[in-house]
Chains A and B, each alone.
Chain A
Amino acid sequence: MIVRPRLTDFKVIGLYCGKIIIGVGLLMIVPLIVSLAFGEWNAAIDFLVGIAVCLVIGLFTEVFCQTTRDLTWAHGLVVASFSWILATAVGAIPHWLSGHFGSYIDAMFDIMSGYTTTGLFLLQDLDHVSNGLNMWRHLLTYAGGQGIIVIALTFLIRGTAGAYKIYVGEGKDERLLPNVIQTARAIWLISLTYLVVGSAALWAVGMNLGQSPVRAFFHAIWVFMGAWSTGGFAPQSYNILYYHSLIYEIIAIAICIIGSFNFALHWAIWTGKKSEIRKNIEIISFFITMTVAMLITTAGLTKLGVYPDVVSVFRKMFFQVASGHTTTGFSTVYSRTFVVQWGALAMLGITLAMAIGASACSTAGGIKGIRVGLIFKAMSQAIRRLISPESSYVVKKWHHITTRILDEPATYSVMMIVIFYIMTYAVGAIVGVFYGYEPVQALFDSVSAGSNTGLSCGVTSPAMPVLMKIVYIIEMWAGRLEFMSLFALGGYIIALLRGR
């Protein structure tokens, strides 16, 4: 029997969603300060309105949802999925007010893209947006990378037993420390430390490239945020091509790769377990699949003779593949270059990299290295069983922080999530083909959305059909939250309609 949710269930969900909306509003203070500092008065007003709307909605929800009840697992998952929709809806206010979007859906598309660290965008005339709006775009992606729930857990939600449940609902299940609030703060400690180091490096290089200290500083912070969160937003429409610098590209891609590693791995290294890098299944999986994607892409590029020398091939190929595999979405080529110069084989190499993605419990998206690694372990186990005597017991071990034995429930849950990802990619591609895009191109952008990458071959644009925009928004959302929270939300809606 399906039990209809009661008022107290809605109250507990509303209370936490309200806190997260207030959190989004408070986050807008940063771009507001930037706009005021640069004398961008109308942009500052847009952020003031955005903050005020967030406070009104958040406080209103809190007032009417006061409860002492703690979260259950179902509540946690519903809060995680529903708060992302609410945070997207209210976060889009400054975007919409800026006048750079054709519709509110377009503005929401960019916000969802930012939170989910995707990097696809429908913003028009990026080269003329305010510094405040640019700060908001990049801050969104930085916050989304750590998880907006993580932010709320860090600053707004006091330690409750239920806190872990919404943390898991956001697609993260690693406890770096015994307490989930401490875990959230540890994630912030790691991210802020890298922010200082990475931005300083990019700032120094930016000034050396001829940027003024102020512009180099802001570009460094924004590019760092785009890279670390594997978001892929950049302050200029030319993306990383704007800087025309190998050293800038190397630093940016290094930050992307480090940012795509599991926070548990970061924490293990921070706490002195350096051998984890060699043993971790995700790292091994990442480097193997990365090499395979590089081989396919290189084969495509050399077959068509796109670049005149090996150095150019390697530079362009490595950057785009690494950007795709870490699900960042930075690029050093024009979007349409993939289609008109790179060709289908190279595009499929990058599509494969994007589909796989990087590490679980990181800022990255995609199927994740750990799942790919486990599937290959399971396949190898199955083959070993076939060729071993019937009486033998084949054991496969895998290492991620601790060494574990591969069992069937783990393989089953991994396979289930992988199937959901493939279905998500396929749905987006089919919708794209339905609207007349070439299959390879439709698949490229659909995988990019579903894996939260952000590379585009030109399919994603303000002119694309509204249904495709909505499908991509859902893909980004589903891919980032890894489906379970969405199913919980769906289940809640069904219970509401059909429960007793």
Chain B
Amino acid sequence: MMRHHHIPEILLTLGFSVFLICPIMGAQIPAKGSEAQSSQIVEPSTASIPTEVNSSKLVEEANKWNGHKVVFTGEAVGEHMMRGEKCWIHLNDDAYMWKNIEEGAKLGGYNSGHAIWVDADLVRKITYYGNYLHEGDIVKVIGTFNSVCREHGGDMDIHADTLEIIKIGHPIEQVINSKRALLGGVLFIVSGILFWVRRIAIRRRT
């Protein structure tokens, strides 16, 4: 029977083997991973020319685009997150980048975009970030795409060298849905009546 005092030893052994397996597997089969990656790196001259690309292509062909200079355009969403002299922003190039659902855009699937690592000074050009009440600025960046970024713990990101505002965003005008508000009001009156009826029903029952 397995006793409790054996458990830490088993866990330690299994846990330690996780760390061991990385270099071992890497050493045993170096060709497949590294060859695959190196063969996908284009010639320096080609790689230095920025290529316009979208987010789904970068995700679907991540290894192919790794290390390439890319031109990426999308709507700034959420917020910027300063990290010293650098900053994280997120650009979405999905169906809602020019107009979101609150402004009448048709449904076009999930959001898609990329995380951008950029100089904090450049980020100050951005006025609006997309959310429920705002359509964010359309931002174009040129930078290096990393399918697995060494600097950022293996994240997929773009290290931008330049940032350009293509279109300034704007607050979204809220047109209040008065018919729906009226419906809500009527339903509340009905629920009030039902509440009163329920009280009578409970009194009768007891």
Contact B148 A312 (CB under 8 A): yes
Minimum CB distance partner of A102 in chain B = B107
Q: A127-B92, A241-B115, A336-B60 are in contact. Are A298 and B18 (CB under 8 A)?
A: yes
A435 touches B (CB below 8 Å): no
Minimum CB distance partner of A283 in chain B = B7
A244 to B146, CA, bound (A): 14
A496 touches B (CB below 8 Å): no
Q: A212-B79, A291-B18 are in contact. Are A340 and B130 (CB under 8 A)?
A: no
A411 touches B (CB below 8 Å): no
B48 touches A (CB below 8 Å): no
Contact residues in B for A498 (Cβ distance below 8 Å): none
A396 to B107, CA, bound (A): 57
Q: How many residues of A contact B (CB 8 A)?
A: 87
Contact residues in B for A41 (Cβ distance below 8 Å): 174, 176
Contact B181 A334 (CB under 8 A): no
Contact B32 A130 (CB under 8 A): no
A261 to B175, CA, bound (A): 46
Minimum CB distance partner of B204 in chain A = A66
Contact A68 B205 (CB under 8 A): yes
B197 touches A (CB below 8 Å): yes
A419 touches B (CB below 8 Å): no
Interface residues in A331-371 by Cβ distance below 8 A to B read 332-334, 336-337, 340-341
Contact residues in A for B32 (Cβ distance below 8 Å): 303-305
B53 touches A (CB below 8 Å): no
> Contact partner of A311 among B101, B153, B201, B204, CB < 8 A?
B153
A292 to B111, CA, bound (A): 34
Minimum CB distance partner of A54 in chain B = B191
A444 to B152, CA, bound (A): 27
A210 to B25, CA, bound (A): 38
Q: A56-B187, A210-B83, A312-B150 are in contact. Are A128 and B10 (CB under 8 A)?
A: no
Contact residues in B for A278 (Cβ distance below 8 Å): 4, 7
Mask of B9-44 contacts with A, CB within 8 angstroms, 1/0: 011001101110111111001101110110000000
Contact residues in A for B198 (Cβ distance below 8 Å): 59, 62-63
> Contact partner of A332 among B29, B61, B155, B201, CB < 8 A?
B155
A288 to B110, CA, bound (A): 36
A397 to B108, CA, bound (A): 56
> Contact partner of A128 among B100, B150, B156, CB < 8 A?
B100
Interface residues in A278-329 by Cβ distance below 8 A to B read 278-279, 284, 287-288, 291-292, 294-295, 298-299, 302-316
A292 to B152, CA, bound (A): 27
Contact A52 B188 (CB under 8 A): yes
Contact residues in A for B177 (Cβ distance below 8 Å): 42, 45
Contact A246 B33 (CB under 8 A): no
Minimum CB distance partner of B107 in chain A = A124
Interface residues in A207-257 by Cβ distance below 8 A to B read 209-212, 215, 236-238, 241-244, 246
Q: A127-B130, A128-B130 are in contact. Are A312 and B102 (CB under 8 A)?
A: no
A174 touches B (CB below 8 Å): no
Contact B155 A241 (CB under 8 A): yes
Contact B187 A298 (CB under 8 A): no
Chain A proximity of B162: nearest CB distance (Å): 21
Contact B132 A131 (CB under 8 A): yes
Interface residues in B146-179 by Cβ distance below 8 A to A read 147-148, 150, 152-156, 174-177
A97 to B21, CA, bound (A): 51
B49 touches A (CB below 8 Å): no
Chain B proximity of A239: nearest CB distance (Å): 11
B131 touches A (CB below 8 Å): yes
Mask of B135-152 contacts with A, CB within 8 angstroms, 1/0: 000000000000110101
7 example contacts (A-B, Cβ-Cβ < 8 A) are as follows A39-B174, A42-B180, A66-B205, A292-B14, A312-B154, A340-B63, A462-B107
A-binding residues in B (CB < 8 A): 1-2, 4, 7, 10-11, 14-15, 17-19, 21-26, 29-30, 32-34, 36-37, 59-63, 77-83, 87-88, 90, 92, 94-96, 100-102, 105, 107-113, 115, 130-133, 147-148, 150, 152-156, 174-177, 180-181, 183-184, 187-188, 190-191, 194-195, 197-198, 201-202, 204-205
Q: A238-B115, A304-B36, A315-B154 are in contact. List 15 more A-B contacts (CB 8 A).
A: A39-B133, A56-B187, A97-B180, A126-B110, A131-B132, A238-B90, A243-B81, A244-B81, A288-B11, A291-B11, A298-B25, A307-B154, A308-B150, A316-B153, A340-B61
